C-alpha cells in the first residue's frame, strides 16, 4: 500500500469512529432554540443529538455544528440571537423560506468561522447589521430578495475574503460606501467577483474611488436604483468585467471613453438613463454580444460605422429600433 492509501484509510477510520459523538451542548441548545421558534422544521429534528442522529440539513465536525442548510423547507419564524453559540458554523443557508422574517441579529457577527451566509428569497427586514464586517472568512454574502432597509454597511469593505456580494432586490437606501480615513468601504473588496446591488433605492453618484485596477470584478450590477451623476471613468480600470448593468437609474453626461478598454465585457446595459453626448465607441469590446443603450439622450447621429466591426454582437437595443433582436435566454443568464 502506498502512503496515500494509508492516509486515506486513516482518515476514513477516524471519520467512522467520530460518528457516535454527541453534539456539543451549546450547539444543541442553539439548534433547540431555533427548533422551538420555527414552524415546519424537518421531521428528523427529534432527540438531543443533531450531529449523531443526523438532523436533516445539519452537518457537524468533531461534535460541532458546521453547516445549516435548509433551503426551500417552508420554514416560518425568525432568526434568534441564540445562533451566536454556533461558533464553528461555516455555512448558514436558509434561502427561499418566505416565512422567515424579522431582523438579521447583530450576533451574526460572532460566527467567526462563517464562510457562506445565504438568505436569498426570505422576508428578512430591517438594517443589515454592521457586525457582518467582522466575519473575516466570509466568502459569499447573499441577502438578495428580502426586505432589508437602511444603507449598505461600510464594514462590508472589511470582508477581504468576499467572493460574492449580493444585496440585490431589497429596499436599501443611501449611497455606495467607499473607504475613508476611518471607515472601510466597498473599494477595498479587491478580490470580490460580484457586486450585485440592483433593484434597490440607492442614491447619489458612484464614487470614482469605488473602482481600481486591482479589482477582479466580473459582474457590476447596479440597475434599477436612483443613482445619479456621471458614469465614473474609473470603471474602465476593472479589466476583468464581463457584465455591466447601469440601466434604469438617472445617470447623466457622456459615457466615459475608458469603457472601450473593457475587453472582456459581453453584456452591457446603459438603457433608461439620461446619458448625453456621442454614442460611445465600443470597438475595444471584441466579445460584446448584448448591448442596450435605449432610452437615453445621446446626440442624434448616423449609425456609427464602428458598430458593424463588433463581430460578436448579436443583440443591440439602441437608438435605432430596427436593430432590436431580443434574446430571452441571454437576458435570463445575465440577470440571475
Please provide the DSSP assignment of 143-179 as one string: --SSEEESPPPGGGGG-TT--EEE--SS---SPPP--
Q: Which residues pair with 291 in a beta bridge?
A: 268, 316
Q: Which of 164, 173, 115, 174 is nearest to 144 (CA)?
A: 164
Report the C-alpha gap between 244 and 267 in whole angstroms. Answer: 6
- 74 vs 336, beta carbon nearer ligand NAG: 336
Q: Among 50, 184, 185, 208, which residue interacts with ligand NAG (rule: CB under 6 A)?
A: 184
The CA-based diameter of the chain, rounded to the nearest angstrom, is: 76
Which 293-322 residues touch ligand NAG, going by CB under 6 A? 295, 306
Check binding of 205 to ligand NAG (CB under 6 A): no
- C-alpha separations of 222 from 177, 277, 287 in Å: 14, 22, 21
Cell numbers found for residue 66: 458546521
41 or 128: CB nearest ligand NAG: 128
Q: Which stretch binds ligand NAG (CB under 6 A): 39-47, 95-103, 131-139, 171-179?
A: 131-139
Residue 258, SS3?
Answer: helix
Q: Is 121 in the site for ligand NAG (CB under 6 A)?
A: no
Which position among 283, 286, 307, 323 is part of the footprint of ligand NAG (CB under 6 A)?
A: 283
Q: Which of 25, 136, 253, 326 binds ligand NAG (CB under 6 A)?
A: 136
Nearest residue (beta carbon) to ligand NAG: 133
The H helix count followed by the E strand count for the chain is: 3, 20
Q: Does 179 interact with ligand NAG (rule: CB under 6 A)?
A: no
281 in contact with ligand NAG (CB under 6 A): yes
Does position 187 interact with ligand NAG (CB under 6 A)? The reply is no
Q: Which positions lie near ligand NAG, rule CB under 6 A?
A: 61, 66, 88, 112-113, 133-134, 136, 155, 158, 184, 224-225, 248, 260, 272-273, 281, 283-284, 295, 306
Amino acid at each position: 500500500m502506498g502512503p496515500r492509501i494509508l492516509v486515506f484509510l486513516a482518515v476514513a477510520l477516524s471519520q467512522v469512529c467520530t460518528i457516535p459523538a454527541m453534539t456539543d451542548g451549546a450547539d444543541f441548545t442553539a439548534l433547540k432554540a431555533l427548533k422551538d421558534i420555527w414552524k415546519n422544521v424537518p421531521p428528523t429534528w427529534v432527540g438531543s443529538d443533531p450531529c449523531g442522529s443526523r438532523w436533516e440539513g445539519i452537518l457537524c465536525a468533531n461534535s460541532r455544528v458546521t453547516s445549516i442548510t435548509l433551503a426551500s423547507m417552508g420554514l416560518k419564524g425568525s432568526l434568534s440571537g441564540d445562533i451566536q453559540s454556533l461558533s464553528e458554523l461555516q455555512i448558514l443557508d436558509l434561502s427561499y423560506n418566505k416565512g422567515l422574517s424579522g431582523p438579521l441579529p447583530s450576533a451574526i457577527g460572532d460566527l467567526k468561522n462563517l464562510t457562506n451566509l445565504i438568505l436569498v428569497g426570505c422576508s428578512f427586514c430591517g438594517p443589515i447589521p454592521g457586525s457582518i464586517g467582522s466575519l473575516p472568512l466570509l466568502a459569499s454574502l447573499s441577502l438578495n430578495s428580502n426586505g432589508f432597509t437602511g444603507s449598505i454597511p461600510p464594514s462590508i469593505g472589511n470582508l477581504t475574503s468576499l467572493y460574492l456580494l449580493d444585496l440585490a432586490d431589497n429596499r436599501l437606501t443611501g449611497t455606495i460606501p467607499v473607504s475613508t480615513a476611518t471607515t472601510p468601504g466597498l473599494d477595498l473588496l479587491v478580490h470580490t467577483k460580484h457586486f450585485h446591488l440592483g433593484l434597490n433605492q440607492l442614491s447619489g453618484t458612484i464614487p470614482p474611488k469605488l473602482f481600481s485596477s486591482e479589482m477582479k470584478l466580473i459582474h457590476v450590477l447596479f440597475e434599477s436604483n436612483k443613482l445619479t451623476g456621471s458614469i465614473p471613468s474609473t470603471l474602465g480600470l476593472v479589466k476583468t468585467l464581463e457584465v455591466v448593468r447601469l440601466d434604469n437609474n438617472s445617470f447623466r453626461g457622456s459615457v466615459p471613453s475608458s469603457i472601450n478598454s473593457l475587453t472582456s465585457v459581453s453584456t452591457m446595459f446603459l438603457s433608461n438613463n439620461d446619458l448625453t453626448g456621442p454614442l460611445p465607441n465600443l470597438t475595444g469590446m471584441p466579445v460584446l454580444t448584448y448591448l442596450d443603450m435605449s432610452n437615453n439622450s445621446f446626440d442624434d447621429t448616423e449609425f456609427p460605422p464602428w458598430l458593424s466591426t463588433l463581430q460578436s454582437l448579436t443583440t443591440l437595443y439602441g437608438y435605432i429600433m430596427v436593430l432590436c433582436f431580443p434574446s430571452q435566454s441571454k437576458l435570463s443568464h445575465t440577470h440571475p
